[in-house]
Amino acid sequence: MARWNTRLRKAREAMSLSLAEAVNLLKQRERITICRTFLGQVERGECEITTSKFRALCKVYCTDANWVLDLQEVLKEKRQSKFQL
């Protein structure tokens, strides 16, 4: 299972955005300022990010936060284990 930060990077790359382009879009569309190096650290799992910044990045990347967090698979597993009791 891919970690959320890896999926976040994949979402950025799917839009063919560099780190610099991503932070510029984040500032323009969501009025959130972060630096390129910080976003790189987040994508490598070296730093954590606030929920509001995570949500804004998902919006800028036009991706579902559930996919980034791999929640669909987690929910599916919980449903299956619930029925196996």
Give the domain extent around 68.
Answer: 4-83
Number of domains in the chain: 1
The predicted structure's pLDDT at residue 70: 86
DSSP of the chain: ---HHHHHHHHHHHTT--HHHHHHHHHHHH-----HHHHHHHHTTSS---HHHHHHHHHHTT--HHHHHTHHHHHHHHHHHHHT-
Q: What percent of the chain has pLDDT over 90?
A: 78
CB atoms within 10 A of CB 38: 16
The predicted structure's pLDDT at residue 75: 67
The predicted structure's pLDDT at residue 71: 85
Nearest to 19, CA basis, from 36, 7, 2: 36
- What is the CATH number for 50? 1.10.260.40
Is residue 19's pLDDT more than 70? yes
What CA–CA distance (Å, rounded) separates 47 from 81?
A: 33
Place 48 in a pLDDT band, splitting at 50, 70 and 90: very high
